[in-house]
């Protein structure tokens, strides 16, 4: 019989910097393309031109993408609350995980799911 090692109720890991920078930049580009395509900084070179053109030519697609991202991250955040409850994490830690998942989605959720799988193995 395996000994179950309890997880610290304060366990929180910030997402990896690569994911924070990449996903934040992508979300900013999407929001600028949707709500202010002419304000995209052109020092971004081809990416800036692409975001501007995409926002001007396909505003409906941009709006639908924003709605999809908000809904997907919202559902991931709800699942995060369930996983935190299963892991018996405290309220402050659950709020941290939920906020992080709302901002960076799967990058945060995968870390939490990995914690749950490690807890089950121990």
Domain ranges of the chain: 17-121
| Residue 119 vs residues 9, 11, 71, 95, 104: alpha-carbon distances, Å | 12, 12, 29, 20, 23
One digit per residue, pLDDT tens: the chain, 122 residues?
444 566 788 899 999 999 999 999 999 999 999 999 999 998 999 999 999 999 999 999 999 999 999 999 999 999 999 999 999 999 999 999 999 999 999 999 999 999 888 766 65
pTM (whole model) above 0.85: no
Closest residue by Cα to residue 23 from 108, 109, 111, 104: 104
């Amino acid at each position: 019989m395996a000994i179950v090692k309890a997880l610290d109720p304060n366990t929180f890991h910030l997402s990896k910097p690569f994911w924070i920078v990449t996903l934040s930049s992508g979300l900013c580009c999407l929001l600028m393309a949707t709500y202010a395509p002419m304000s995209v900084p052109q020092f971004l070179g081809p990416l800036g031109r692409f975001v501007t053109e995409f926002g001007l030519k396909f505003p409906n697609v941009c709006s639908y993408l924003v709605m999809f991202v908000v809904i997907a991250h919202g559902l991931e955040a709800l699942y995060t609350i369930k996983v935190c409850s299963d892991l018996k994490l405290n309220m402050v830690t659950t709020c941290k995980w939920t906020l992080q998942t709302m901002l960076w989605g799967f990058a945060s959720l995968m870390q939490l799911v990995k914690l749950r799988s490690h807890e089950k193995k121990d």
